[in-house]
Structure 1
Amino acid sequence: MTKIISNLNCGNSPKMGFLMDFNIAFAKGDLEFIADSVTDEIVWNIIGNKKIEGKQKFAEELEKMKSTKVAELVLNQILSHGKQGAVNGTMKLQKGKEYAFSDFYIFQGAKVAKLKSITSYIIEI
Structure 2
Amino acid sequence: MTENLSTYNNAFRRYIKYSLYLLSICVLGWGFTSYKQVFLGLVLGIAVSMYNVWSMHRKIDRVGQAVTEGTKVKTMGSLSRLMTAGLAVLIATRFPEYFNLIAVVVGLLMIYLIMLIDFYFASK
| More contact order relative to length (CA 8 Å, sep ≥ 6) | 2
Whichever structure has more strand as a proportion of its residues is 1
Whichever structure has more helix as a proportion of its residues is 2
